[in-house]
Structure 1
Amino acid sequence: MANPIVARSLNEIQFWSRIMKEHALFLSLGFTYDQKNLVLEAQHFIQVFERVEEKLSRFSINSDIQLVKAFNTEVYQHAVDIWAFKRKVLGLTLRCEITSNNYPLLVDHISREAAYFANRLKELNQGILAPKPEAIIKENVFFLKIMADHAKFIGHLLDPSERKLVDQAREFSHDFDQLLFQAMDLDSMRPQSETKPILSQFLDQNRVSVTSLRDFKKTARDLIEACRIKSNIHPLLADHTFREAERFLEIIDLYEVSLNKN
């Protein structure tokens, strides 16, 4: 039987390494023609995570756990390195040392995801597979902010003439801001909020909202790929945000399983 730490480690690396690679691509596309060094740094990380993906293909769920833990440590360092690059870009932007087409919130957003990825690998190497109740709330805070950010990015990158879609994106932004505030309130109520009925209701509510946003993203992605709406959204970015919503739904299901075991 496969070791669950091995299986989860490979799953996390498969998903997040692709995300990190795409982040580097999006950053490179957003830099201006005179920011060649930043473009080269971003392209370096594309190559780094392509090598990670290539090495990942040599592993299986039956791989030796020590080899997988060593791989986790290696990928952890790459995640930390791309996090540092993203924070450097954010600092340059906020100090007005560079002007690019990358929103500061977007750069902050993708740096948070790099930090999350690194932390997951660290936890897995510590043998932490199933989250504790307090971790369930905190991880929902993380993902709800990610979803709220996505709605804001979509609203700002759609052409202003796409009024109906812009309005829908704003509605999702508002809805997820409210869910985020609710999750933060729940987090501040610990440990009283860490009861199974409250957490189950919390997850059910999030699942409904994330499913609606996931479906909206899928529609937007399909329309963008078919060139049926006007926007500055790269087709890969549209698919990227869709996959992250799908990931959140998978994680909500994992949390439910974890709660039911306790």
Structure 2
Amino acid sequence: MANPIVERSLDEIRFWSRIMKEHALFLSLGFTYEQTQLIDEARQFISLFESIEERLARFTVNSDLRQIQAFNSEVYQAAAAIWGYKRKVLGLTLSCQIRHNNFPLLVDHISREAAYFANRLKELNEGKLAPEPDTIIEENVFFLKIMADHAKFIGHLLDPSERKLVEQARDFSHDFDQLMFQAVDLDSMRPQSETKPILSQFLNQNKVSVASLRDFKKTARELIEACRIKSNIHPLLADHTFREAERFLEIIDLFEASLKRT
């Protein structure tokens, strides 16, 4: 029988290593031609996470736990390294030492995701698999902000003439900001908030909103791939944000299943 820690570790690495690789690509595309050192560093991270993906293919859910824990530790180092790179880029940007085409919020956004990935690997190596009520709220705060950020990026990268889509993106940004603030409020109410009915309603509300945003991203991705709308959105970026919405829905399902078991 597969070890759940092994299974979850492989799943996290499979999803987030691809995300990290794509982050490095998006950063490299946003730098100006003379920022060769930063572009070279980004390309090195693309190669690093490609090699992690190649090594990942050698493991199965029946792999030895100790081998997976060792692999987790190696990938943790890679996630921590790309986090440091992203924070360096953000610092250079905010201090106006470099100017490029990546929004500061986007650089901060992708660094938060790297920190999340590294933390997940650390937790798994500590044997932490099943979510606690605290984790449910905190993880939703994290992902709700990610979804709000995505809506903001889409709104800014669409051509201004795409008025209807821009308006929809702004509406999603507002909705997810409100959901995030609501989650922060719920977090501050602990331990009173740690009741199944409240958490179940919280998750259900988020699921409905994320599914709606996921569908919007899916439509946008299809329109971009078919060259039917005007934007500066790379087709891979459109797919990237769609996959992250899908991931959030999967995590909500895991949390709901965990609440039913407790």
Whole-angstrom CA distance in 2 between matches of 1:196 and 1:225: 42
Amino acid at match of 2:155: G
Q: Which residue of 1 aligns with 2:5?
A: 5
Q: Secondary structure at the match of 1:62?
A: coil
Q: Which residue of 1 aligns with 2:35?
A: 35
Q: CA deviation at 1:192?
A: 0.7
Q: Which residue of 2 aligns with 1:123?
A: 123
Amino acid at match of 1:183: A
Give the TM-score taking structure 2 as reference length.
Answer: 1.00
Q: Which residue of 2 aligns with 1:94?
A: 94
Q: Secondary structure at the match of 1:192?
A: coil
Q: Secondary structure at the match of 1:127?
A: coil
Whole-angstrom CA distance in 2 between matches of 1:258 and 1:52: 30
Whole-angstrom CA distance in 1 between matches of 2:238 and 2:112: 19
Q: Which residue of 2 aligns with 1:219?
A: 219
Q: CA deviation at 1:131?
A: 1.1
Whole-angstrom CA distance in 1 between matches of 2:194 and 2:88: 37
What are the Cα deviations for residues 181-213 of structure 1, in whole angstroms up to 9, with x where unaligned? 000000000111010000000000000000000
Q: Secondary structure at the match of 1:70?
A: helix
Amino acid at match of 1:80: A
Q: Share of identical aligned residues, percent?
A: 80
Superposed CA RMSD in Å reads 0.3
Amino acid at match of 2:94: L
Whole-angstrom CA distance in 1 between matches of 2:49 and 2:191: 39
Q: What are structure 1's unaligned runs of at least 5 residues?
A: none
Alignment of 1:13-92 (within 5 A): 13-92=13-92
Is 1:181–2:145 an aligned residue pair? no
Amino acid at match of 1:181: F
Whole-angstrom CA distance in 1 between matches of 2:18 and 2:158: 24
Amino acid at match of 1:27: L
Amino acid at match of 1:132: E
Alignment of 1:175-254 (within 5 A): 175-254=175-254
Whole-angstrom CA distance in 2 between matches of 1:76 and 1:217: 30
Q: CA deviation at 1:15?
A: 0.1
Aligned length: 262
Amino acid at match of 2:22: E
Whole-angstrom CA distance in 1 between matches of 2:130 and 2:170: 34
What are the Cα deviations for residues 137-168 of structure 1, in whole angstroms up to 9, with x where unaligned? 00000000000000000000000000000000
Q: Secondary structure at the match of 1:231?
A: coil
Q: Which residue of 2 aligns with 1:153?
A: 153
Runs in 1 of length 4+ with deviation above 4 angstroms? none
Whole-angstrom CA distance in 2 between matches of 1:77 and 1:42: 16
Amino acid at match of 2:54: E
Give the TM-score taking structure 1 as reference length.
Answer: 1.00
Q: What are structure 2's unaligned runs of at least 5 residues?
A: none
Whole-angstrom CA distance in 2 between matches of 1:77 and 1:257: 31
Whole-angstrom CA distance in 2 between matches of 1:89 and 1:190: 36
Amino acid at match of 2:83: W
Q: Secondary structure at the match of 2:192?
A: coil
Whole-angstrom CA distance in 1 between matches of 2:56 and 2:5: 15
Whole-angstrom CA distance in 2 between matches of 1:130 and 1:45: 31
Whole-angstrom CA distance in 2 between matches of 1:72 and 1:165: 40
Amino acid at match of 2:192: Q
Whole-angstrom CA distance in 2 between matches of 1:136 and 1:167: 31
Whole-angstrom CA distance in 1 between matches of 2:200 and 2:113: 25
